[in-house]
Structure 1
Amino acid sequence: VFGVKLPPLFDVHQVPKVFREDSILSGYRHPQSSALDCVLSSFHINNETVNIWTHFLPTWYFVWRLASLCSSMNLTSDSYTWPLLAYMLLVCVYPFTSCCAHTFSAMSSESRHICYFFDYGALSLYSLGSAICYGCYVMPDGWLNGWLHRHFVPIAVGNSLLCTSLSCYSRFVEVHFPHRSKLLRTAAFAVPFMFDSLPVFYRLLLCCVGRCSPSEALLSHFYQVTLAFLTCFLFTSHLPERLAPGRFDYFGHSHQLFHVCAVMATHFQMEAVLCDMTSRRALLEAAGPAPSLPGTAGVLALGVALNLGVLALFGAPLRSSCPCLWIKPAV
C-alpha cells in the first residue's frame, strides 16, 4: 500500500491474550504496530478492516445529515432545536471514535485499552445525547411534566457514568474472567439503552393495544428498537463465528454485523426523533418551557467532563508502573 510494506498478519496463538477475539483465529495485526502501520492496515485485509470502515463511512453520512439539518433549520438560534443539535453532534462523534479505536488498538496492550476506553466514553455520551433528545421530543403525552420527565436527563447523566465505569472496568478482568467481563460490558450499555427507551417502549405498547394511531415516527422507533436488540444479540452471542471458528475471520463475523446494525439503529432513531420533533412541536411547546442552554449544552458539557474524569481514573494504572487498586490488564 503506497509502496509501504505492511507487517505480516498473525494467527490467534501468536498474539497476546488481550488482543484475541472469541472464535477469530487469524488476521491479527502486529501487537506492536506503529501508528502509520495501523492507518495503513485499514487498506489491507485483516480481521479489523471491516470494523474500521463500518464506522468510518457512517461517520461521514451522519456529518452530511448534520450539515443538511444546519442548512434547513436554525440549530443555533432556535432553542427548540438545541437538543437535536446536541444529539447529532454525538451521533457524529461515536462512530468516529469507534473507528479510531479499531484502527489504533494494535499499537500496544496499553493503547488497546485506552482506545476502547474512549470508545466506551463516546458511546455513553451518545446515550446521554439520546436521553436529552427523548426528554424533549419523545415523551408520551401523559408523561409530560411528570416525575420521570423532570428527572429523565439527570438520571441519564448518572447512567452515562455507570456505562463508562462498568465497561472500562470490564477490560481489567477480561483475560482472566471473560464471562464476567462480557456480562459487565453488556449491562453497561443495556441499562442506559433500556432507560432511554422507556418513553418509546410505552408509546409502542399503547399502539399494540390500539390506544394510538400508527405514525411514521413510531414506525422508525420500532425499527430502531428491533435493530438495537439485534445489535445486543450479536454482541453477546458471537454468531456466526462461534459456529465455525476461523470461517468468518475477515468477513461476516459478529462484530462487523454488530456495527452495521448499530449504525442502522442510529439512522432510524434519528429519523424518529426528527419526525417527533416536527410533528409534536405545538404540543410540546404548549406543555412546558423551551429547552434551555444549561439543559442542553450545560448537561452535555457536564457529561463530557465527568466521563473524561472516569477515563482518566481507569487510564492511570496503564500509565503507571506503581502498584494500584486495579488489576493490571493481562497481556
Structure 2
Amino acid sequence: MTEKQQRRDLDGRTTLTWSQLPEIWRRRDNIHLLRGYRPLNESYTQCLASLFHIHNETVNIWTHLLGIPLFLLSGFHLWMIVSTQYSSSSNHDIVVFGCFFAGVTICLSLSTAFHTFSAHSKDAHDHFLLLDFMGILALIAGSWIPGIYYGFYCHSTASQIYWSMICTITTICAMVIAIPYCRTPAWKPFRTSMFITLGLSGIIPMTYAAYTFGIAQANLQMGWKYIILEGIFYLCGAVIYACRIPERWYPGKFDIVGASHQWFHVFVLMGAGAHLMGIVRAFRYNHHPFTRMCEHFWA
C-alpha cells in the first residue's frame, strides 16, 4: 500500500495516519487512534468544510454541534412555561434557567469550535483548546446556579454561601487552565481531576440539603436524584476519556466512530439532560400552589 493510499479516509479525503503526524502532534494526540487525522491546513474555510468530511474528529464535532439547537429549543419551550405556568414565577427563574442554558450552549459551542478548527495550526489548536476548557467550566458553574437556587429556595444564606463556593472554585480552575503548561498532555490527569473536583464540589450543598430536608424532600425541591444521575454520567464520561476506553484495548478499531472522546461527548449531553430534568422538577415543586414552601424567593 502506498503512502497516498494510506492517507485516504472513508470518504476519499486526504488524511494522515498516526505515523505521518508531526512529532509535536504525536505527543498531543491519542496514540491508540491510528488514522483519520486531518493535516494542518492554515485555513478556517477548509476547517469548516471538514464538517462534512469523514475523519476522526467528525463525530466529536457533530455530537456537540447537534446538541446546541436541541438545548436552545428546549430553553425556548421552557421559557414559555416559566413565563406563564405559575403566577409566582418571576425573572429570577428566567435568570437561573438562563444561566444553565448559557452554560450548556457555551460549552457545546466552544467544544464544536475546538474540534473543528484544531486542524488549522498549532496556535489555533492551543487557543481553541483553552476555550474548550473554559466551556467545561461554564457548563459546571451554570448548572449549579439553578440547582442551588431551587434547593435552598427559602434559605438565602445557604444559597449565597454555596454560590460563592462554586464561583470561587470555578475561578481558581480557570486561572490554572489559563497557564499554558497546564494544558499540555502531561497535565491531562490533573486537568481531569480538577474538572471532577469542581463537579463533585456540588456534593457539599447536596449533602447539606439531604441532611436538612431529607433525601425525599431534597429530591422534590432541587431534583436531587437527577443531579446524582448527572454526576454518574459525567464521571463515567471522564473516566472513559482519561483511560482511553475502548481504543486502548483495540488500537485502530475506533479511529472514526466509538472512541473515548466521542463517548465523553455523549455522556456530557446525557448529564446536561439529566440536570435539566431535575431543575424543571424543582421549578414546578417550588412554584406549584400546593407544594411551594414560601411565597417569594428568599422570603
Measured after TM superposition, the shift of residue 66 of structure 1 is: 0.9
- Match of 1:99, SS state, is helix
Taking the TM superposition and a 5 Å limit, the aligned residue runs for 1:16-27 are 16=22, 17-18=24-25, 19-27=28-36
**Inter-CA distance 21–80: structure 2 relative to 1 (3 Å threshold):** same
Matched residue type, 1:102: H
Higher relative contact order (CA 8 A, sep 6+): 1
Measured after TM superposition, the shift of residue 26 of structure 1 is: 1.1
User: Which consecutive unaligned segments of at least 5 residues does structure 2 have?
Assistant: 1-10
**Inter-CA distance 104–227: structure 2 relative to 1 (3 Å threshold):** same
Measured after TM superposition, the shift of residue 6 of structure 1 is: 8.5
> Do residues 31 (structure 1) and 52 (structure 2) align?
no
Q: Which residue of 2 aligns with 1:154?
A: 164
Report Cα offsets for 1:26-67 as digits up to 9, x if no partner: 110012341121112121111100000010011110011011
**Inter-CA distance 219–12: structure 2 relative to 1 (3 Å threshold):** same
Alignment match of 2:133 (pick from 96, 120, 144):
120
Superposed CA RMSD: 2.9
User: Which consecutive unaligned segments of at least 5 residues does structure 1 have?
Assistant: 290-331
Measured after TM superposition, the shift of residue 197 of structure 1 is: 3.7
Report Cα offsets for 1:258-309 as digits up to 9, x if no partner: 00011101001011011112202422556724xxxxxxxxxxxxxxxxxxxx
Kept in 1, the 8 Å contact 2:33–2:254? The answer is yes
Q: How many residues matched? A: 276
TM norm structure 1? 0.74
Taking the TM superposition and a 5 Å limit, the aligned residue runs for 1:36-51 are 36-51=45-60
**Inter-CA distance 248–168: structure 2 relative to 1 (3 Å threshold):** farther
- Match of 2:216, SS state, is coil
Q: Which residue of 2 aligns with 1:100?
A: 113
> Do residues 9 (structure 1) and 18 (structure 2) align?
no
- Match of 2:293, SS state, is helix
> Do residues 224 (structure 1) and 237 (structure 2) align?
no
Kept in 2, the 8 Å contact 1:186–1:236? The answer is yes
Kept in 1, the 8 Å contact 2:215–2:224? The answer is no
Structure 2 CA distance for aligned equivalents of residues 284 and 117 of structure 1? 42
Kept in 1, the 8 Å contact 2:79–2:94? The answer is no
Kept in 2, the 8 Å contact 1:127–1:196? The answer is no
Q: Which residue of 2 aligns with 1:130?
A: 143
Higher mean C-alpha displacement, 67-76 vs 236-245: 67-76
Matched residue type, 1:241: E
Q: Which residue of 2 aligns with 1:256?
A: 262
Alignment match of 1:69 (pick from 78, 88, 91):
78
Kept in 1, the 8 Å contact 2:162–2:205? The answer is no
TM norm structure 2? 0.81
Measured after TM superposition, the shift of residue 10 of structure 1 is: 0.4
Q: Which residue of 2 aligns with 1:299?
A: none
Kept in 2, the 8 Å contact 1:163–1:188? The answer is yes
Measured after TM superposition, the shift of residue 7 of structure 1 is: 6.1
Q: Which residue of 2 aligns with 1:329?
A: none
